[in-house]
Amino acid sequence: MNKGTKVSDSSPFKGEQEGVRAIILAAGTASRLRPLTSNTPKCLLKVGERTLLQRSMDALIKAGISEFVIVTGYLHEQIEDFVRKTYQNSLPLREGRGGSVRFIHNKDYATTNNIYSLWLARPEAEGQEVLLLDSDLLYDGQIVERVLADSHDNVLTLIRHELGEEEMKVVIDPPLPSLKGRETLDVEASPLRGGLEGSITEISKTCDPALAAGESLGIERMGKAYTTALYKELDGMMNKEHLENTFYELAFQRLIAKGFTFSVLDVTDLFSCELDTVEDFENAKQRIPAYLY
């Protein structure tokens, strides 16, 4: 077994998340990370001693998740082979229904966005409790534990920092004080530390950064009622409007108007960082805390 894949029997979360299924989106080409991704999927790039996908799967297993659905696309064979080899001793790898890991291939990965990969996961996610995340995140695994320990059915993770045009921004009501011009952020005093149910009024890249509480990290927990509503919304978006090349947060935004939203969980105090460019990737190697290396 590769280092980092063994789950401690002492984990307080082990075996407690049998009803929650992880949906991991791993289809993208990550063209802005070339040449690093010229021959390797982004999720299989290493920071420290483990790949990004391995870090997420280790965190999920430690937190008690035992069912995985991985939507692949670009260089999908590499991802499938990696998961089989790395987790053959820690997960009962039976592909197809009833197995612990199921792979779904998005053959149109080059012309679609993550909303279409999420749509393809419908048979495994609709009407289910799911934890949705991108495969290329770099973060402290304690974030997963916090999300799963949260008492709300639907939870969206938020990180607070000064925002620009690129981030997937979250607007809440009531608004939080602006971070503009601040040198430090008192995360312990954040009014979002305990979560604010039903507080999201907008989630998009195009909203005014000055109005946003922070950036969506890209880890969401959804209850059965939410995933039922989500796939009803996605059905129209895919089959009638043909919005395959948008972000899945557009569906979240539409559902807000229909009464479906998230509790916001602020995880700013735990490590996470973006990995969109080669420069980001090199910075991450310097920034990652020693205990996560």
C-beta of residue 148 within 8 angstroms of C-beta of residue 13 = yes
Q: What is the DSSP string of 179-234?
A: -TT-S---GGG-TTTT-BTT-EEEEESSS-GGG--EEEEEEEEE-HHHHHHHHHHH
Residues 6+ apart with CB under 8 A from 25: 71, 114, 117, 118, 132, 133, 134, 135
Residue percentage of the chain with pLDDT more than 70: 82
Mean pLDDT of the chain: 84
Q: What is the pLDDT of residue 195?
A: 44
Q: What is the pLDDT of residue 163?
A: 86
Domain boundaries, position 149: 20-292
Q: What is the pLDDT of residue 19?
A: 81
Two tokens, residue 212? 């946003």
CATH code, domain carrying 143? 3.90.550.10
Note if the bond before 35 is cis, omega within 30 degrees: yes
Task: Express each pLDDT in 42-100 by its tens digit.
Answer: 999 999 889 999 999 999 999 999 899 999 999 999 999 999 999 887 665 555 444 58
What number is the average pLDDT over the span 258-280? 91
* Reported pTM: 0.85
Residues 6+ apart with CB under 8 A from 114: 25, 27, 28, 134, 247, 248
Task: Express each pLDDT in 216-240 by its tens digit.
Answer: 999 999 999 999 999 999 999 999 9
Q: What is the pLDDT of residue 14?
A: 40
The one-letter amino acid code at 245 reads: N
Residue percentage of the chain with pLDDT more than 90: 60
- The total domain count for the chain is 1
Residue 1 lies in a domain: no
What number is the average pLDDT over the span 115-137? 96
Q: What is the pLDDT of residue 88?
A: 80
Q: Is 76 helix (H, G, I), strand (E, B) or coil?
A: helix
C-beta of residue 115 within 8 angstroms of C-beta of residue 246 = yes
Two tokens, residue 31? 């063209």
Does residue 190 surpass a pLDDT of 80?
no
Residue 41 lies in a domain: yes
How far are the Cα atoms of 148, 187, 190, 230 from residue 118, in angstroms, in the given order?
20, 32, 31, 10
